[in-house]
Amino acid sequence: MRILFMGTPDFAKVALLAINEKYKGEIVGVVTRQDTPKNRGHAMTPPPVKVAALACGLPVFQPANLKEENFREILEEMNPDIIVVVAYGRILPTYVLEYPKFGCINIHGSILPKYRGAAPIQRAILAGEPEMGVTIIKMAEGIDTGDMYAKASFDATEGNFEEIHDKLADLGASLVLETMDKIFDGTAACEPQDDALSTYAAKVEKADRIIDFTAPAAEIVNKIRAFAPVPGAEAKLSSGKVKITSAKLLAEAPTGEAGTVAALSAKGAGLLVINAVDAKIQIERLIPEGKKEMSAGDFIRGRRIAETDRFE
């Protein structure tokens, strides 16, 4: 088989490595986004998929626009039988979707039809979904609207974004290999999505990361999980902004107004409990503005919070 892979971030890199290991010598090319400036020095940084592809000795293409005629020529030269797309970050033109005889398949990081769109993992965590998973779809014109080949899921009541992301990436990689085998031997079957059950996972904005302590405690903890370890859910104190990277819900009624300190201890890892509107939240790790991540105990010992303080 002649396999073309299209993807950009770490989530896609896991699938690329798995496909390359199983179908050694059958990947005819890897298409990814262009290098981007990163960090304070603005050094041009390649996407994770490019780094992995080059390490595997695979040809890499970074077109600025798939609608340009030169990419059509590149596609025809590679002549793929199937295109595997994982978090590529651009909508595929019709001529790309229709080119390979086995079509274009996609690993999507949600149990479709819920959470179509750019940020399915974070939106599902924010919503407190008890179960999360991946879906392999046959791509069509539309955002994550194609017929479904396969789904797999796991319990997602615990874990932050990074932990759940990595589980989903591994699950997607194994499921796409199973699906590709079935497609190639002619045993794969699809089922259409029920559009009435679909939801849209919009791109995450900075405002989504701001913690409102007047919200229900479970929503606050889910927000912290959804943005941990980076970029972090944000709150304000009199000592400055903080990013909270780990917290847990306590089955205790609040003993004060939302955002106020309910318990404070500098011993060991520390004890920092905050009142929400309906319960208490224990903050375990956080990042003060301009500092590195630290435990609640180190935060308290640094005198960055007092019993009279209030999170806003």
Last residue of a domain, one of 186, 201, 216: 201
**Domain identity same for 219 and 181:** no
- Tell me the one-letter amino acid at 53: A
**Domain identity same for 40 and 154:** yes
What per-residue confidence (pLDDT) applies to 176? 98
Give me the mean pLDDT over the 140-165 stretch. Answer: 96
What per-residue confidence (pLDDT) applies to 194? 97
Give me the mean pLDDT over the 65-91 stretch. Answer: 92
**Domain identity same for 197 and 220:** no
**Domain identity same for 219 and 153:** no
Report DSSP letters for 259-282, one per residue: TBEEEEE-STT-EEEEE-SSSEEE
Domain assignment present for 312: no
Domain assignment present for 141: yes
Give me the mean pLDDT over the 33-53 stretch. Answer: 91
Report the DSSP pairing between strands 104-108 and 82-86: parallel
Name the band, by pLDDT with cuts 50, 70 and 90, for residue 13.
Answer: very high
Task: Specify the long-range contacts of residues 299-306, CB closer than 8 Å, at least 24 apart.
Answer: 299/242, 299/270, 299/272, 300/264, 300/265, 300/266, 300/270, 300/272, 301/266, 301/270, 304/237, 304/239, 304/240, 304/242, 305/237, 305/239, 305/261, 305/264, 305/272, 306/261, 306/264
Is pLDDT of 39 > 80? no
Name the band, by pLDDT with cuts 50, 70 and 90, for residue 45.
Answer: very high
Name the band, by pLDDT with cuts 50, 70 and 90, for residue 303.
Answer: confident
Is pLDDT of 68 > 80? no
> What does the pLDDT look like over 181-210, one tens digit per residue?
999 999 999 999 999 999 999 999 999 999
Residue of 288, 276, 158 whose CA lies nearest to 219: 276
DSSP label at 146? Answer: S
**Domain identity same for 75 and 100:** yes
Is pLDDT of 220 > 90? yes
Name the band, by pLDDT with cuts 50, 70 and 90, for residue 212.
Answer: very high
> What does the pLDDT look like over 227-249, one tens digit per residue?
999 999 999 998 899 999 999 99
Token reading at 297: 């105990």
- How many domains, the chain? 2
Give me the mean pLDDT over the 28-45 stretch. Answer: 90
What per-residue confidence (pLDDT) applies to 239? 84
Other Cβ atoms less than 10 A from the Cβ of 294: the count is 18
- Bridge partners of 271? 265
Range of the structural domain that residue 54 is part of? 3-201
What mean pLDDT value characterizes the chain? 96
**Domain identity same for 156 and 282:** no
The CATH number assigned to the domain holding 36 equals 3.40.50.170
Q: How far is residue 79 from each of residues 3, 66, 236, 241, 304, measured CA to CA in Å?
A: 9, 16, 55, 53, 60
**Domain identity same for 78 and 164:** yes
**Domain identity same for 24 and 118:** yes
For residues 257 and 312, the answer to whether their CB atoms sit within 8 Å is: no
Is pLDDT of 265 > 90? yes
Q: Tokens 């798939």 identify what position? A: 66
Is pLDDT of 281 > 90? yes
Is pLDDT of 41 > 90? no
**Domain identity same for 238 and 294:** yes
Is pLDDT of 69 > 80? no
Is pLDDT of 145 > 80? yes
Cα torsion through 19, 24, 26, 30, rounded to 10? 50
What per-residue confidence (pLDDT) applies to 288? 95
What does pTM read for this prediction? 0.95
Would you call 196 helix, strand, or coil by DSSP? helix
Query: Between vectors from CA 6 to CA 2 and to CA 12, what angle results, nearest 5°?
Result: 115
What per-residue confidence (pLDDT) applies to 38? 83
Residue of 139, 140, 75, 80 whose CA lies nearest to 107: 139
DSSP label at 191? Answer: B
Neighbouring residues of 185: CB distance < 8 A, sequence distance ≥ 6: none
Domain assignment present for 310: no
Q: Report how far residue 52's alpha carbon sits from residue 9's, in angstroms, rounded to the nearest whole number.
A: 10
Burial class (CB in 10 A: 0-12, 13-18, 19+), 83: buried
Last residue of a domain, one of 201, 229, 245: 201
**Domain identity same for 10 and 92:** yes
Give me the mean pLDDT over the 6-24 stretch. Answer: 98
- Bridge partners of 7? 86
- In the chain, the percentage of residues whose pLDDT exceeds 90 is 93
Other Cβ atoms less than 10 A from the Cβ of 219: the count is 18
The CATH number assigned to the domain holding 291 equals 3.10.25.10
Give me the mean pLDDT over the 74-95 stretch. Answer: 96
Is pLDDT of 70 > 90? no
Name the band, by pLDDT with cuts 50, 70 and 90, for residue 82.
Answer: very high
